[in-house]
Amino acid sequence: MNTLLKDVFGIFKFAEGLYAGIRKVLVPPKAYSWQTFIYLSVFSWVLSYLATGYIKDIIAFFGWLFLIAGTAWYTTQDPLRVPGTFMPVGAVITGFLVSVFAFGNQQDVITPRTIVFWPTISALITAIPEFIEGSDTDAKARIPKPQDRQRIIILVASSMLLSCWIQFYFVMDHWFQQYPSLQADTFKRSTVVVRTEERVKVPQNGVVILERLQPIVIEQINQTPWSEVEKWLLEAKQRVGTLGRAVIQKSLGKYEEKDLWRIEPRVANTKSGYILDLLSIWIGPSSNPRGYFLRKSCRIEPVAATSNSGNKITVAEIECDRASKLIAGSPPPQQ
């Protein structure tokens, strides 16, 4: 029985201690405290949710200021340092809030700019107290000691360097999104880019261009009188170029790399007709100084047919390769 009573009292004592701890965190010891700022931020956000127009933005603005002030105050009371630096963890948290407040938006709270400027802002927040001496009510500016200046310079400079590397990551990510054909290239000689996924063997955008250009060319040539086809082939450079630009604009309109693809034809005579090569040429950056291109060959041959009036005529029959072939180097010269 005594053991049971001890257990019950122990539970009550634990609950009492837990309640006291929660009360200490939630209930401000005085009006001027970090809890007050946090509550003001929550209150401001509730009001901004109910408000409309520019009033909503103004209230939300002050809500962010209260949150940043309260968080900074709480995390600097007994600061925990980032290992290897004199940067408080609170400065990292506060820097993140400041970065979100400065560079976030309603659609995307966390943007690339938020992540890029986060380390630098955190370092500046860490450095600011080094230029101030005195209490909250009697503070004045001061010049840090020489040894402190060195620490500040190293911290801020290293944080800015980290921001630069993060920015470089976002730049590379943007390039690969807007220029996906770069993923088909090799980065073996790069000192800063390491491939983490399997290499794309063929640039898909180049393939898409030829796949969508092929049926248009077939439609214009197939079952067309042979004399008209020969005339079409004489003007192939202009005709295919015009069709290619239209296909590129329609198929790659959302990519910035659309200006780095060029479509050209190559026409060659054979014993039985012609060979029409459709070339999708990459003119963007490449590890190969001579670049590369994709080729899809079409064989055009004359066949006998009967016109609507019953006369015997010669028309063209065209057959194209099923797959495009990737070729490294410069395209063959025009004939």
Q: Could you read off the pLDDT of 130-169 as tens digits, one per residue?
A: 777 766 556 677 787 888 888 888 889 999 999 999 999 8
- Which backbone phi and psi does 294 adopt, to 5 degrees? -110, 145
- Which backbone phi and psi does 292 adopt, to 5 degrees? -160, 170
Give the integer Cα–Cα distance in Å for 292 and 60: 54
Per-residue CA distances from 115 to 67, 87, 88, 218, 281 (Å): 19, 18, 18, 51, 37
What's the whole-number average pLDDT of the chain?
A: 81
Per-residue CA distances from 138 to 31, 141, 144 (Å): 19, 10, 18
Whether the Cβ atoms of residue 267 and residue 274 lie closer than 8 Å to each other: yes
Q: What share of the chain is helix, strand, coil (3-state, %, to 5)?
A: 55, 15, 30
- Mean pLDDT check: name the lowest of 128-132, 277-281, 290-294: 128-132
Give residue 210's Cα distance to chain centre: 27
**Quick one: pLDDT at residue 189?**
73
- Mean pLDDT check: name the lowest of 238-252, 262-276, 301-315: 301-315
**Where residue 217 falls among pLDDT bands split at 50, 70, 90?**
very high
**Where residue 103 falls among pLDDT bands split at 50, 70, 90?**
confident
Is pLDDT larger for residue 326 or for residue 40?
Answer: 326
Structure tokens at 333: 């010269």
Short-list 272, 281, 294, 296, CA closest to 215: 296
Structure tokens at 94: 């506060």
**Quick one: pLDDT at residue 187?**
75
Whether the Cβ atoms of residue 175 and residue 135 lie closer than 8 Å to each other: no
- pTM of whole model > 0.75? no
Amino acid making up residue 41: S
Whether the Cβ atoms of residue 152 and residue 130 lie closer than 8 Å to each other: yes
Give residue 187's Cα distance to chain centre: 19
**Quick one: pLDDT at residue 43?**
76
Between vectors from CA 97 to CA 94 and to CA 100, what angle results, nearest 5°?
150
**Where residue 30 falls among pLDDT bands split at 50, 70, 90?**
low
